[in-house]
Structure 1
Amino acid sequence: MDKLMVAIAAFYGMSGVAMGAFAAHALKKRLDDYALDIIQTATQYQMIHAIAMLAIVALAHAGSFELRTPLWCFVIGVALFSGSLYVLALTGIKPLGAITPIGGVLLLLGWIVLIVKAVKVAPSI
């Protein structure tokens, strides 16, 4: 499981950098500022969650506690959130924007589950 999550996080990181560079260079003259802003938002969330996934894998390994749920929420959430924004920005198909909030809710859910898990396993002070 750890290897899979690290691989997915690395893919999200790599593809986030690639998409950001592609938009900044190849698409800058082809897309309007609104579409470029959408891509920037998508890459920003994708990169933040790629790093968060790596941190969660490290925490789960070091702390010996189960964190699959937030990881999968991030995997699916990034795919839906950032993926739908990329498609929206590149194609202009606005109904696909309805998928974005579902991804956003999954990202939020991942953070909420992480908070709950951390509170449950945190040592008493």
Structure 2
Amino acid sequence: MSQLALITGAIFGLLSVIFGAFGAHLLKKKLTQDQLQSFETGVKYQMYHAIVILVLGFQLNISATINAYIIYAFIIGTFLFSFSIYGLVLSSANNKKLKFLGPITPLGGLFLVLGWGLLLVTLINL
């Protein structure tokens, strides 16, 4: 599990840098200001949680079930939240908005909240 967390955190970090550069340079002329801001929100949340996932991968005792749930919640939440935003923004910019992605973003946010909540419970019980 810790290897999964470390690899996933590194991939999310790598992709957030690539997507951030992509947004800042290539999409700047193609997106509206609101769309660009949404895209940047996805990139920021992806990077923040990539760092969290890496730290947890190094620090948590993965044999504890709650720790596995924390890492899974952050991985699933980051993927659903950030990547649904990317899909919504890019499809909207091409006038082919993928509306089914709309409900996925808050679901991803819910997983992120769950991850933070479980982490808090774990820290309180130390």
Supply the AA of the counterpart residue of 2:4.
L
Q: Who is 1:103 aligned against? A: 108
Q: Tell me the CA shift for residue 94 of structure 1.
A: 5.7
Specify the code of the residue in structure 2 equivalent to 1:114.
Answer: L
Name structure 2 gaps, 5 residues minimum.
none
1:116 Cα offset (Å): 0.8
Q: Does 2:24 correspond to 1:24?
A: yes
Q: Which of residues 97, 116, 124 in structure 1 aligns to 2:121?
A: 116
Q: State the match for 1:9 in structure 2.
A: 9
Q: How far did residue 65 of structure 1 move?
A: 4.9
Aligned-residue CA RMSD in angstroms? 1.6
1:91 aligns with 2:91: yes
CA offsets, 1:69-93, max 9 Å, x none? 1110011101110011000110112
Cα distance between partner residues in 1 of 2:102 and 2:17: 22
Q: Equivalents in 1 of 2:18, 2:36: separation in Å?
A: 14
Read off the aligned partner of 2:85 and give its amino acid letter: L
Distance 1:7 1:64 in 2: 18
SS of the residue 1:100 aligns to = helix
> Secondary structure, in 3 states, of the residue corresponding to 2:60?
helix
In the TM superposition, residue 11 of structure 1 has moved relative to its aligned partner by 0.3
Aligned length: 120
Q: Aligned partner of 1:18: which letter?
A: I
Q: In 1, Cα distance between the equivalents of 2:123 and 2:5?
A: 19
Displaced runs of 4 or more, over 6 A = none
TM-score by length of 2: 0.89
- TM-score w.r.t. the length of structure 1 is 0.89
5 Å-filtered alignment, 1:68-87, equals 68-87=68-87
1:38 aligns with 2:38: yes
